[in-house]
Structure 1
Amino acid sequence: MMSGSEIPTTLLLLRHGETALTAEKRLSGSGGSDPALSEIGRRQAEAAAELLAARGAVHAVVSSPLRRCRETAAAAARRLSLQLRIDEGLLEADFGVWEGLTFAEVRERYPVEFAAWLESPAAVPGGTGESLDSVTRRVALSRDKLLARYQGQTVLVVSHVAPLRTLVRLALGAPPAALFRMELAAASVSEVAYDGNGNASLRLLNDTSHLR
């Protein structure tokens, strides 16, 4: 039987539900508009909340401050009878002048900058945006704070593609290029467990079974 110190700390990673920009596959970071969930997104949030309520044993709900995440997280917090906490470190990246564009449009209009961004995590997207290196630093800091505060508990983390992919990448010890090789659909659930030494184990990735 495990002692308290041996019980892993689990982060359930929930991507926000769909917005109008999500459906059109347009970049929607922290530097553009702050869209609300669409009707589909609200249904996805409720479906995810139902899944999490059925799972049980969630001790805290923490969200990015952006509206689409707060709305998704609020649905879960209501079902779980938990207070919603906001963490600025879980913000999506700022994509600068790329905000609102599709990847195809970025590739066409800013080919050199886009290639550099895919090649190097130090590259700044859209001229004034946030590098993936910067995203990694703040997400890792938020992760460490959560692991310290909720040792041995399960925390629902509601965030965006870049921060959630970063948490998965760091858990796997994978290189930065791995960020572009994983799918995290709207309202998908992933799960990472951390032992007392901080060693991570990816237990679930991009589960959308509750949306079918």
Structure 2
Amino acid sequence: MATVILLRHGRSTANTGGVLAGRSPGVHLDEVGAAQADSAAERLAALRLSAVVSSPMERCQQTAAPVLAGRELPLRIEEGLTECDYGTWTGRPIKELVKEPLWGTVQQHPAAVTFPEGESMPALAARAVATVRRIDAELEAADGASAVWVAVSHGDVIKALLADALGMHLDLFQRLHVDPASISVIRYTAHRPFVLASNTAAGELSWLAPKEASADAPATDAVVGGGSGH
């Protein structure tokens, strides 16, 4: 049962500028975003990580850098974790986009959305889930069921991953919230994924480190009544 820690990039210059960055090059963390990345790295410091995998976008690589500091791990870049291709929406101010008819569909029926000259939301979800599950299985095979790894990605990508793990239809994924530099956690098992955390901004994470098997129930089972906790 490998565990993936989903880390959204820290606040970027596009976030504060009110622009939909998408896959635009040259979008970096601002000062707050850099501090957020450092804080996330501190939260992860107690964990032995099998890998740190990032979207190719600069803001994600910058967020991954402090997580890797002091670790003998390379940064692994995965296209499957990259931002949605928002097509002709890319680089446009949010205040303009909210006036587009498609904006309402994005809010209410994202499973029906294909961005103009860009990617569909179902395609984003499918490639994100396939990428994370592939890497998760690979790392479990290499490092055992206690492997813990970090995937640094984007808000909509992480929301799609959480929705899949929760068994939610993509049309409901706007009910989820993923802040800059927030940490969410999924543990995949043979029976089901377990969402261990969502959109957390503080708190140590040493409880994710490998432990002896619990006496409560098999690790792939959900404990009736809630179990004894970590």
TM-score, normalised by the number of residues in structure 2: 0.80
Q: 1:62 touches 1:158 (CA, 8 Å); kept in 2?
A: yes
What percent of counterpart residues are identical? Answer: 31
Go from structure 1 to structure 2 and tell me whether the alpha carbon gap of 1:79 and 1:16 turns closer, same or farther (over 3 Å shift): farther
1:155 paired residue number:
149
Structure 1 unmatched ranges of 5 or more: 1-7
1:5 paired residue number:
none
Go from structure 1 to structure 2 and tell me whether the alpha carbon gap of 1:172 and 1:43 turns closer, same or farther (over 3 Å shift): same
Q: Distance in 2 between matches of 1:143 and 1:132?
A: 17
Go from structure 1 to structure 2 and tell me whether the alpha carbon gap of 1:198 and 1:100 turns closer, same or farther (over 3 Å shift): farther
1:171 paired residue number:
165
2:103 paired residue number:
114
Q: 2:43 touches 2:202 (CA, 8 Å); kept in 1?
A: no
TM-score, normalised by the number of residues in structure 1: 0.86
Could you list the structure 1 runs, at least 4 aligned residues long, displaced by more than 4 angstroms after superposition. none
Go from structure 1 to structure 2 and tell me whether the alpha carbon gap of 1:23 and 1:189 turns closer, same or farther (over 3 Å shift): same
1:67 paired residue number:
58
Residue deviations 1:45-93, cap 9 Å, x none?
1111111013x13211000000000111121011443221011000010
Amino acid at match of 1:175: H
2:14 is aligned with 1:50:
no
More displaced 10-residue stretch of structure 1: 201-210 or 168-177? 201-210
Q: 2:25 touches 2:57 (CA, 8 Å); kept in 1?
A: no
RMSD between aligned residues: 1.7
Amino acid at match of 2:184: S
Larger Rg: 2
SS class of match (1:164): helix
Residue deviations 1:80-127, cap 9 Å, x none?
43221011000010112222345442121x2x22233332424212x1
Following TM superposition, by how much is the alpha carbon of 1:188 offset from its aligned partner in structure 2, in angstroms? Answer: 0.4
SS class of match (2:59): helix
Q: 1:53 touches 1:79 (CA, 8 Å); kept in 2?
A: no
